Structure 1
Amino acid sequence: MVLYNVTIGIDSDVEQEWLSWMKATYIPKVMATGLFKDCQIYKVLGQDEEASVSYSFQYFTESVDKVVDYLDNHAPSIVQLLHKNYKDKHVAFRTLLQQVD
């Protein structure tokens, strides 16, 4: 199993609106690619800054190849929606992890 993790820091003043948008628009577009089996959302706890909060979006798939396919062929247009709607309100970083038995 491979985990593609996207951690996004979002300005607190748009947090609830953004989270609703992520659930209604962004995640469904990612899942509609058919490349991921599941998505889980976690809020990062213990943050000191009140100006922003962070969330971890964890997408699960069978192979690194599927993540590469997503990044090459689908992510640019989907991520563009995030930038269009929340420009200068967020930062993101990505991590790719592989399950160890």
Structure 2
Amino acid sequence: MKFIYNVTIKVDWSITEEWLQWMKEVHMPEMIQTGCFENSRLLRLMEVDESDGPTYAAQFTAPGKEEYNRYVTDFAEALRKKSYEIWGDRFIAFRSVMEVVH
């Protein structure tokens, strides 16, 4: 059974373009390179309050629970730390895990 690791991120307007480029060219490829995820996609949430900045959902597909757990154990902390070192408090992230049922 596949799992989707979803990170919903509210980004400050001051970093939006730079952050998008970093997500597409650096962070999302690094996530795939962990070997824990098969693919990824980045979506922009619509019909939400954007007064402080846009909101995105980065989704990563793990082939199973074992691969997702390996990501959490071996890679998550370092990759999160890297994000905060680059962007500081100019973003807010909320993480969730979903099981694909159909």
**Fold conserved between structures, TM > 0.5:** yes
Task: Name stretches of at least 5 consecutive residues in structure 1 with no aligned partner.
Answer: none
* Partner residue in 1 for 2:4: 3
Whole-Å Cα distance in 2 between the matches of residues 60 and 38 of structure 1? Answer: 6
Task: Name stretches of at least 5 consecutive residues in structure 2 with no aligned partner.
Answer: none
Whole-Å Cα distance in 2 between the matches of residues 49 and 35 of structure 1? Answer: 32
Whole-Å Cα distance in 2 between the matches of residues 85 and 28 of structure 1? Answer: 16
TM (norm. structure 1) is 0.93
Tell me the C-alpha RMSD between the 2 structures.
1.0
Matches within 5 A, 1:35-74: 35-74=36-75
* Partner residue in 2 for 1:29: 30
The number of residue pairs the alignment matches comes to 101
TM (norm. structure 2) is 0.93
Matched, 1:18 2:19: yes
Whole-Å Cα distance in 2 between the matches of residues 98 and 24 of structure 1? Answer: 27
Whole-Å Cα distance in 1 between the matches of residues 50 and 56 of structure 2? Answer: 14
Residue 49 (structure 1) shift:
3.2
Identity %: 27
